[in-house]
Amino acid sequence: MLTEVRIYPVGVVRVADGAVCIEIFKAYREAMLGLEGFSHIHVLFWFHENDTAELRRTLQVHPRKDPSNPLTGVFATHSPMRPNLIGLTRCRIMGIEESRILIDAIDARDGSPVIDIRCFIPDAQPLAEVRLPKWV
Amino acid sequence: MLTEVRIYPVGVVRVADGAVCIEIFKAYREAMLGLEGFSHIHVLFWFHENDTAELRRTLQVHPRKDPSNPLTGVFATHSPMRPNLIGLTRCRIMGIEESRILIDAIDARDGSPVIDIRCFIPDAQPLAEVRLPKWV
């Protein structure tokens, strides 16, 4: 059983003056071929500001930092504190310029390492019977 | 700039006799609190069988292994060959038994390390103007 896997960032989130883009490192640029055919992508990034042993040990939070929400395991939230600090956001592609993917918005900070980009393919049919807890 | 991040698996995919579950390691069990309120989760796992330097250098593929599909960058696909071998699947929760999350199906193999679980919250409204390439 693997006890550790190594992730090498493939790019970085850049936020400046309201414009948001993902800068893909040169070594990975070929992996962008065909992205222009999609309107949306899933971006996986690293919550680098939380990369401390203590924050990675945080297993329960009050969702949305609201103490009136019930104490909840981080797997049942999108909290930026979690054992593996992976953020996942669906973004709209606004344009592609060489190694940059311009996007509408992302809940990452300037400088957040990007660890994967995946094309977004919506469900062919709406999902049946989705259940959510009250705090959502 | 980070050049490497370390991921510690939080569980493992178990597939046996048509039943599929995620076994969360004891150290991370508290992070499951509240999962029972959701019908669906996103599971992030590691394509451990592809964890070789050569496969991680594969940046372009023919989607769905079909040579009639155009050569495409892996960021514009869900290929299990990619620089960081992260699989992402939405699963329906069929039940929760102590440290096990029973799910309907997953495109991972028995023994695939699980690196994160996130509650699935659907869009409040259907996404406007989704564009996809022909091969999808």
Coil vs helix vs strand at A32: helix
Identify the closest residue of chain A to B113 by CA–CA distance. A2
Q: How far is A136 from chain B (nearest CA, A)?
A: 8
What is the interface pTM, i.e. ipTM, of the complex?
0.95
Give, rounded to a whole angstrom, the gap between the first and last alpha carbons of chain B: 35
Q: Which of A107, A119, A120, A116 is nearest to A47 (CA)?
A: A107
pLDDT band at B56; cut points 50, 70, 90: very high
Choose among B105, B106, B58, B107: nearest CA to B81.
B58
Q: Are A45 and A13 in contact (CB under 8 A)?
A: yes
Runs of H (alpha helix) within A1-136: 53-56
Distance CA A119, CA B76 (A): 5
When pLDDT is cut at 50, 70 and 90, the band that residue B15 belongs to is very high
pTM here is: 0.96
Would you call B4 helix, strand, or coil by DSSP?
Answer: coil
Cα–chain center distance at A107: 7
Chain B closest-CA separation from residue A66 CA (Å): 16
Q: For A38-80, what is each residue's pLDDT tens digit?
A: 999 999 999 999 999 999 999 999 999 999 999 999 999 999 9
Contact B37 A117 (CB under 8 A): no
Cβ-Cβ contacts under 8 Å, B12 against chain A: 1
Q: Cβ A37–B6 below 8 Å, yes or no?
A: no
